[in-house]
Amino acid sequence: MIPTHYEFNNPVKIISGSKAVDNLPFELEQLGVSRPLIITDQGVAGAGLLSIVKNACSDSNISIGAVYDQTPPDSSLSTVKQIAGLYRKTQCDSFVAVGGGSAIDTAKGVNLIISENSDDLSQFAGAQIIKTPAKPLIVIPTTSGTGSEVTMVAVISDTDRNLKMAFTSHHLLPNVAILDPRMTLTLPASMTAATGMDALSHAMEAFISLQKNPISDAFCLSAIKLIGKTLPLAVKNGKDPDIRLTMANAATMAGIAFSNAMVGVVHGLGHAAGAVCHIPHGVAMSIFLPFGLEYNIAKEEKRIGRMLLSLAGESIYLNIPENKRAAGTVKAVRALQKTLYEHCGLPYTLKQAGATRDKLDQIAQKTMDDGALGFNPEAVELDDALMLLNRAYE
Amino acid sequence: MHMILKKRIKKIVIKIVVICRGRALQSAAKSDPQVMGELRRWDKSLIILMQVLPKGPGMILSKQGRELRYLGSTQKQADLVINFKNIECAFPVMAGFMSAETGFAQNRMTVKGDIPLAMSLIRCINRILTFLFPGFISRRILKRVAPFTLKEQIIRLKILTLGIPFGH
Ligand SMILES: NC(=O)c1ccc[n+]([C@@H]2O[C@H](COP(=O)([O-])OP(=O)(O)OC[C@H]3O[C@@H](n4cnc5c(N)ncnc54)[C@H](O)[C@@H]3O)[C@@H](O)[C@H]2O)c1
Ligand SMILES: [Fe+2]
């Protein structure tokens, strides 16, 4: 059924290819800028990925204004403020984010306060309230997970209040996303698994979200199919550029889907678990995904069942009677979890991920604050969140 | 002409419903443990504005200490602002045919301010809907509606007979 009203927006130019990063100078010039600030983190810099970017800019009309490589995991309000100072001081005119969700979202946050000419990001919390167009932003993702290269969302932690703030605005959308397999070849197996499960949870949650629509559906199903097939391969064989590029494409598709359809209880729980117990986002997504799907079967049985075809393939799908397919999808996600656990020890319980039982109450409380709950098909009350956390604990 | 008239009628309907819902909220803030529980987690004093762009109507709620007051629609500054993009976007949600969650999911409105506060407000608004509408209607609009206990029936009666007509 077509929703009575929906909106879909994806203006990001996507460049995918084995040497795609070398298009960076051309794309910057197309945007009318020449002095980008590069935002990245220590892990990415340490993996030698910056040299690919710098090399692409050598012998061009682009001069890199400054490089900030101290982005902390999940970013922070104070980092954003600090980088804005650097941007102003070095008179840059644009941003290039090189990294996973943490670096990309940091760049989005800095871009926001620069274009709003402010110092305080927290004052722009909310959804669709920013009015000023932003500076050019090109994103080169080095994980295949968050989809942040194509989303209008930035998640930035407020370390003082111990919570993750979400910002959504069309103005946060990057101009260009560059998918180059060289940028993810160095990603360790465990991180490949976790970020891949983040992408899968984007596609699966978006497919059943209250905000789903026919266009986002198409992106969801394509992403689920690619991830189901490729993620185990990427974990086992991370040096294969084709596999890496496929995962990058899948994560981007899942990002387009959820930027327009939003996510649900899995992300609600995950953001809270991240804020309280510092469980990495992808790890949390992997743990909660099967429980979140199961929880929504009463409301979205058909759609959850439909995802089995994309995730596990025709032969499995056709061998399961229609009324068991939703449960089949949950089972297939658990099977994938098991494969990833065996290959790289990706945790599938909160306990394995280092959470303690006494924190569950606090996580449940924080979950209730998360905007994603509004888009979840089933109602989520405090008791429900606590029940899910207990199930996911061990 | 016909269209303009329809728009005016919709505005009037929204204005009436807003008064009912505003007063119901104000009353529930004194009697319903669920709404009171939500309010306890809000800042001590704050102002919430829900309005239809570009020119209203709107609803202002002000929290002072433990009290929540419905203030009509004149205030300009607020801590949390929920804007409906236009009257057609607003009508089903403001008139109560559609939940706020579905309204957000259909990109009908924007939020300026704290998302946790917005989530809490939505829970309060949903709760009010269950008091205002008979179960068969609210169950169609909301994701989940638990059957009322006797105590809740009494709270509901109080909101409908004292809260809405007299602002108690
Ligand atoms: N904006 C959105 O739409 C969105 C969506 C989902 C998640 N997020 C946010 O993104 C963040 C998580 O991002 P993430 O999962 O991409 O992880 P990340 O950016 O935090 O990176 C994780 C670690 O991997 C390292 N790393 C990244 N790429 C590497 C590479 N190619 N080789 C070697 N090491 C590499 C980094 O240095 C870092 O230490 C969270 O804050 C989450 O809330 C945002
Ligand atoms: Fe995510």
Interchain contact, A125 vs B113, CB within 8 Å: yes
- Strand A137-141, strand A176-179: pairing: parallel
pLDDT band of residue B1 (cuts 50, 70, 90) is: low
Q: What does the alpha-carbon distance between residue B55 and residue A187 come to, in Å, rounded to a whole number?
A: 52
Q: Which residues of chain B are within 8 Å of residue A373 when distances are taken between CB atoms?
A: 119
Tell me, letter by letter, the H, E, C secondary structure of chain B: CHHHHHHHHHHHHHHHHHHHHHHHHHHHHHHCHHHHHHHHCCCCEEEEEEEECCCCCEEEEEEECCEEEECCCCCCCCCEEEEECCHHHHHHHHCCCCCHHHHHHCCCEEEECCHHHHHHHHHHHHHHHHHHCCHHHHHHHCCCCCCCCHHHHHHHHHHHHHHHHHCC
Q: Which fold has domain A13-183?
A: Rossmann fold (3.40.50)
What does the pLDDT average to over A105-111?
96
Helix (H) or strand (E) holding B52: strand B45-52
The CATH number that applies at residue B131 is 3.30.1050.10
- Give the pLDDT confidence of A207-243 residue by residue, as tens digits: 999 999 999 999 999 999 999 999 999 999 999 999 9
The confidence band for B168, taking pLDDT boundaries of 50, 70 and 90, is confident
Domain positions in chain A: 13-183, 189-393
Name the domain count of chain B. 1
Measured from the alpha carbon of residue A181, the closest ligand is 1
**B167 domain residue, yes or no:** no
pLDDT of residue A119: 87
Place of tokens 């979202």: A105
| pLDDT for position A274 | 93
Mutating which of B97, B108, B119 best tests the A interface, going by the most A Cβ atoms within 10 A? B119
The pLDDT value given to residue A382: 96
pLDDT tens per residue, range B39-77: 999 998 999 999 998 887 888 999 988 888 888 766 668
**Separation CA B117–CA B132 (nearest Å):** 23
Could you tell me the distance, in angstroms and rounded to a whole number, from the CA of residue B124 to the centre of ligand 2? 28
Using beta carbons and an 8 Å cutoff, which residues of B are at the interface with A?
89, 100-102, 104-108, 110-116, 118-120, 122, 142-144
Task: Provide the 10 A C-beta neighbour count for residue A10.
Answer: 17
At residue A284, the pLDDT reads 98
Residue B120, domain member (yes or no): yes
Residue B77 domain flag: yes
Q: Which range marks the domain in which residue B17 is found?
A: 2-162
Give the strand order in the sheet containing A163-168. A153-158, A163-168, A126-127, B109-112, B80-84, B45-52, B58-64, B67-70
Inform me whether the pLDDT recorded for A162 exceeds 90: no
Q: Which two tokens stand for residue A188?
A: 């360790």
Nearest to A140 by CA among A169, A179, A106, A90: A179
Helices (runs of H) and strands (runs of E) counted in chain A: 15, 9
Question: Which tokens in the block code for residue B137?
Answer: 């209607």
pLDDT at B65: 85
CATH 3.40.50.300 fits A189-393, yes or no: no
A1: CA distance to ligand 1 center in Å? 35
Contact A166 B115 (CB under 8 A): yes
Pocket-forming residues, ligand 1, beta carbon under 6 Å: A 41, 43-44, 47, 49, 73-74, 99-103, 105, 142-143, 145-148, 151, 153-155, 183-184, 186-187, 191, 195, 198, 281-282
Cα gap A201→A195, rounded to integer Å: 10
8 A C-beta contact, residue A38 and residue A83: no
pLDDT, tens only, B92-125: 998 888 999 999 999 999 998 888 999 999 999 9
Ligand 1: centre distance to CA A146 (Å) = 7
Please say if the pLDDT value at position A161 is more than 90: no
